């Protein structure tokens, strides 16, 4: 299996693993989820140009959002932003990861530039989908969001993960452990890390490691997130079917979705026939993409892309196999305004 995000595992499990277990089993798990209403293409700003993409391509896109609330009582920010694409014709799954600090335009009601992960902060999942659709010409109406607290719970449920922690990451990780211990109502504090190297981390220690945003840049933070997810996947893949069901059962209260039960049955029936050992992945932008950083509204860094139009072309080539796609006028005008406001990448 290629290395991919735990949110994808949760999502595919939700839409596939219970299909063969009958209606009662599916109902048991479905009603443990936090469910929301379906979103129309109008509500999430799907343009007329791409409104028929799903029907024409037979590719279903589902946004996967990892929410970090930081214990501040706000909506939180979507610090992990992925799109799972179910290619029904070719029986494959693709996953696109979007960098959270990318400078984009957040449409109505915000109508302003900001970093991508702030869309959730302002308007939760609906505004995040609307923002992805607006900036990348996508057609997303479905989502699965999970609280990062679920990761701590999962890791503790599987008795920790093995992770190689670099020496220069220790101090900031311990600072976050201290903060998480202070914010938790749990009387048992997680111990601080005393050395670098390969070691077993508890759920809270791993969460602190993931939240480190001060060592390296945002790509380094994404890499730390991926390392935790990969370690989780490695351990989860060795669980028995019964253990997996128990693990999923424990995680569901942390998950929110607007997928209906009928969609889970329909998608799941098809996904069970896919090759899930070969999941294709891409990252938008790529880590070697030329960009510059700016500050805006007191936030930094925000990454200005070398070409927003090229990003959209890359997204459509990867998700829809459409190598001839030309960005919409909305994308072209938004890119021009970004460069006029923040300057071009030199």
Please, what is the Cα angle at 24 between 20 and 29, to 5 degrees?
A: 85
Compute the average pLDDT of residues 235-262: 79
Lowest mean pLDDT among 152-156, 210-214, 216-220: 216-220
Lowest mean pLDDT among 116-125, 285-294, 301-310: 285-294
Distance CA 294, CA 309 (A): 20
pLDDT class for 294, splitting at 50, 70, 90?
Answer: very high
pLDDT class for 25, splitting at 50, 70, 90?
Answer: low
Please, what is the Cα angle at 12 between 101 and 43, to 5 degrees?
A: 55
pTM (predicted TM-score):
0.83
Q: Which residues pair with 302 in a beta bridge?
A: 294
Domains detected in the chain? 6-148+241-288 (3.30.420.590), 159-236 (3.40.630.190)
Mean residue pLDDT across the chain: 85
pLDDT digits (tens, 9 = 90+) for 77-115: 888 898 999 999 999 989 898 988 999 999 999 999 999
Distance CA 105, CA 111 (A): 7
- Residue 285: asked if its preceding bond is cis (omega within 30°), the reply is yes
Give the three-state DSSP class for 84.
strand
């Amino acid at each position: 299996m290629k290395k991919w995000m735990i949110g994808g595992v949760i999502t595919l499990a939700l839409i596939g693993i219970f299909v063969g277990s009958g209606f009662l089993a599916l109902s048991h798990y479905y009603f443990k989820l936090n469910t929301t209403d379906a979103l129309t293409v109008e509500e999430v700003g799907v343009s007329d140009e791409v409104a028929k993409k799903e029907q024409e391509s037979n590719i279903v896109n589902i946004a996967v959002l990892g929410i970090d609330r930081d214990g501040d009582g706000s909506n939180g920010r979507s610090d992990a932003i992925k799109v799972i694409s179910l290619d029904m014709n070719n029986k494959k799954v693709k996953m696109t990861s979007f960098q959270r600090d990318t400078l984009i335009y957040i449409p109505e009601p915000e109508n302003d530039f900001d970093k991508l992960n702030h869309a959730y902060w302002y308007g939760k999942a609906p505004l995040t989908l609307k923002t992805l659709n607006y900036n990348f010409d996508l057609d997303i109406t479905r989502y699965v969001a999970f609280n990062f607290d679920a990761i701590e719970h999962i890791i503790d449920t599987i008795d920790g993960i093995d992770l190689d922690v670099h020496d220069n990451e220790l101090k900031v990780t311990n600072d976050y452990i201290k903060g998480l211990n202070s914010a938790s109502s749990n009387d048992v504090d997680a111990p601080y890390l005393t050395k670098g190297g390969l070691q077993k981390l508890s759920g809270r220690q791993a969460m602190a490691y993931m939240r480190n945003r001060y060592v390296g840049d945002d790509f380094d933070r994404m890499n730390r997130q991926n390392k935790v997810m990969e370690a989780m996947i490695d351990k989860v893949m060795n669980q028995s079917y019964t253990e997996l069901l128990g693990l999923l059962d424990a995680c569901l209260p942390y998950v929110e979705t607007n997928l209906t039960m009928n969609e889970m049955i329909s998608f799941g029936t098809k996904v069970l026939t896919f090759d899930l050992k070969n999941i294709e992945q891409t990252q938008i932008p790529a880590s070697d993409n030329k960009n510059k950083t700016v500050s805006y509204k007191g936030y930094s860094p925000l990454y200005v892309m070398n070409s927003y139009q090229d990003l959209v072309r890359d997204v459509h080539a990867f998700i829809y196999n459409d190598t001839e796609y030309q960005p919409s006028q909305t994308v072209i005008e938004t890119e021009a305004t970004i460069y006029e406001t923040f300057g071009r990448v030199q």
